[in-house]
Amino acid sequence: MTELLRDPDKIIEDLLCPRGGLTWDIEDSIRDRAVAAVLCRLPERVYRRLARWWYTLQWFIPHELVGGEGMPFFVTHEGRAASRALRGDVQMPGGLKTAAFARVVYLSPLLERGSFDCAVAVVAHELAHVALRHALMTHPELYERQEAEAWRAVEEWGFGREARKRQAIYKRRDAAKRKRVLQLKRVGLGNVSEVKRVQRPAIREVHRKMPMIPGGKVNLERAGAASGAGRTTRRRRKGQS
């Protein structure tokens, strides 16, 4: 049983929850539930660090059925009174606390289709970037270093199991993608760089025409022969015209 160090009401009070807690759908949204799980389990020192920077941390968790949406990302506040003003309770006071930019944590709607543990790992990883004050615009070497630091922090904070599960899922996806590219290459779509430029409709058409064998696997020999025959036919037609 994972120990919870605080409850969701505490997170709302500290202004760290998405959308001010007004539409925080912990029951039905995997992403919202993952945010709650991470913030409830974070070590106290890390949580307090995030709570001090609440006015620069914004969540962007678009609904999976919303095609487009305009979002206000506030970067000037003055503590709890300002948060109440944003909810319409009181007027915004003077003497605002300012920041150069907001650190917006985006959580893709695709996370709703995956496992809860994977969503938890993603939330913990992105909050690690915020807590470690990583640069948002980086060169490749710094990016890789920051990614490694963030995953180490995720492990230290107690989310190692979820991180390993996410890594296993992504490894399987990458393997499936490489296998698909290899199949497309072998049936005559050219080298890998050319395959990556093929539009999705063309790829779906190739898959539809691939000869199948029992069990749903592609018969690569027949596919290659069919692809070669198709090219020969096109050359003949071109010569006749």
* CA-wise closest residue to 121 among 163, 165, 172, 173: 163
Tokens of 101: 């930019």
Q: Which segments of 57-101 are extended strands (E)?
A: 57-60
> Residue 11 and residue 21: Cα distance in Å, rounded?
9
Q: 106: part of which helix (H) or strand (E)?
A: strand 103-106
Contact 71, 60 (CB under 8 A): yes
Residue 138 is which amino acid? Answer: T
- The per-residue pLDDT for 193 is 53
* Terminal-to-terminal C-alpha distance of the chain: 74
What are the φ and ψ backbone dihedral angles of 73, each rounded to 5 degrees? -105, 100
Could you please report the per-residue DSSP string of 145-179? Answer: HHHHHHHHHHHHTT-HHHHHHHHHHHHHHHHHHHH
- The per-residue pLDDT for 210 is 46
Residues of the chain with pLDDT under 50: 80-95, 192, 195, 198-199, 203, 206, 209-227, 229-234
Lookup result for tokens 């990016």: 143
Alpha helices of the chain — where are they, by DSSP H?
8-13, 30-41, 44-52, 79-86, 116-131, 140-156, 160-184, 192-197, 200-209, 220-240
- The per-residue pLDDT for 38 is 97
Tokens of 58: 């914004």
Cβ neighbours of residue 41 closer than 8 Å, sequence gap 6 or more: 2, 3, 4, 5, 157, 158, 159
- Say whether 218 sits in a helix, a strand or coil: strand
- The per-residue pLDDT for 215 is 44
Domain definitions of the chain by residue range: 8-158, 172-240
- The per-residue pLDDT for 217 is 43
CA 162 to chain centre: 15
Cβ neighbours of residue 29 closer than 8 Å, sequence gap 6 or more: 61, 112
- The per-residue pLDDT for 241 is 52
pLDDT per residue as tens digits for the range 122-131: 999 999 999 9
- The per-residue pLDDT for 85 is 45
Contact 20, 87 (CB under 8 A): yes
What is the number of other CB atoms lying within 10 angstroms of the CB of residue 16?
A: 20
- The per-residue pLDDT for 197 is 53
